[in-house]
Amino acid sequence: MSPSSRRLMVLPLVALLLGLAAWFMSRNETPLHAGPPATVTFPTEMTPREEARARARRTHRPPAAPNAPAPGAPVDPLLAVLPTDPGAGAVVLEANAIRNSPLGETLLACMGGRRQLDMMRERTGVDPLNDLDRMAITTEGVSLTGHFGEADWDALFPDASRSARGDQGRIYELPDEGVRGENRRAVGVWGNSMVVLGTPEEVEAALDRLEGGGPRGTPILDASQAYGEVYGVIGGDTLAMMLGRGGGLGDQLPPELRDAASRLELHADTRSDVGVVARFEGEDPTRVEELGKTFKGLLSVARAQAQLEGEPDAVRLLDMARVSHGEAGFDLQLAVPQSFLEEMAERCRVEHQAREEAAERARAEGEALPEPQTPTAAPEREEL
């Protein structure tokens, strides 16, 4: 499987993780019992705070196109680096905002606290909790923004081949360990504020979009769509491939509806309760409406199955799921209450502490054992 194909599998995971993670984690011997909130905020439009945030991020002025009368307007570097193919996909995570939310606390607890992050900081010079601002996962690579001035890239990639790209870009092409170059990987660094991961060709194209050295195009995600703590757009080609791959949702949708939606726009609010809005649109309103009805039916079937199997947490979450139809398509809304996240985080902390204590006891018992004796060879028998 190529790197691009593997990333196609990541995009639906990002879209569904926020709404369904608690459901899957509730399939445990000990159910969670947090009740639903009175209301959940669903991100349906940009707020004044998010408008101000978007304006403040327009810090990069790309070089003027050939024969252009004047340079273009300043842009958000992360949005400018995104793919321009309308059929591609990109999902942006406001990593710093998510970190300081109940969802971030839950994820941190389930990862085992700060230990792994401390090891990463010591190895790279980058503190993920404080230095990472945003992460964009696309069909053409992964881009990170933040404060990366303390990272020693030459020391991190001593065996990589290095090359400059534009005025501020550097590319580290890692040693090829794949077959026929299928796993060729590269890391692009732009100034001290952006890192791009992908194949060498993907990294070069991304830096060229920033430096003005590649073909001009419009990124698939614009500033007016950058609201919520998670937001993104998945184009028709990628969306049809996701829904038609088979397995899970792909097996439950009728084949004739898997390409009904030509665009999916995703937004998630994680500040307290998690509210997710997945907006499906398509060129044929009738087929898109039928797809929405199918989603609604699948939610009802999942709720009935969860109730039959005695999973009250899944029932509660599915009770808050909604499908609402509009002129251009339909919205799928998913919700996870903050109280649910807090109980999940506490469970993760307890389980992680138990694992740590068990590992500590095992180490102590191992130290108390006597050193194994090296067996001595038996003396050779003397011949008579």
Per-residue pLDDT reduced to its tens digit, 101-140: 887 777 777 766 666 667 777 777 787 778 889 999 998 8
What is residue 205's predicted lDDT score, i.e. its pLDDT? 92
CA 265 to chain centre: 15
Among the listed residues 289, 293, 301, the one whose alpha carbon sits nearest the alpha carbon of residue 329 = 289
Alpha-carbon distance of 270 to 230, in angstroms, equals 8
Residue 377 pLDDT more than 50?
no
**Per-residue model confidence as pLDDT tens digits over 279-296:** 999 989 999 999 999 988
Alpha-carbon distance of 337 to 106, in angstroms, equals 12
What is residue 26's predicted lDDT score, i.e. its pLDDT? 39
Among the listed residues 129, 126, 97, 125, the one whose alpha carbon sits nearest the alpha carbon of residue 111 = 129
> What are the tokens at 316?
């509660």
Alpha-carbon distance of 329 to 336, in angstroms, equals 24
Mean pLDDT of 63-76: 74
User: Domain boundaries in the chain?
Assistant: 3-28+45-60+74-154+192-348
Contact 75, 61 (CB under 8 A): yes
Q: Among 149-158, 172-181, 336-345, where is mean pLDDT lowest?
A: 172-181
Alpha-carbon distance of 172 to 161, in angstroms, equals 6
- Sequence-ordered alpha helix ranges (H) in 81-182: 95-99, 102-110, 115-124, 153-156
**Per-residue model confidence as pLDDT tens digits over 208-224:** 998 877 677 788 899 99
Residue 187 pLDDT more than 50?
yes
- Using a 10 angstrom Cβ sphere, with 0-12 exposed, 13-18 middle and 19 or more buried, the burial of residue 270 is buried
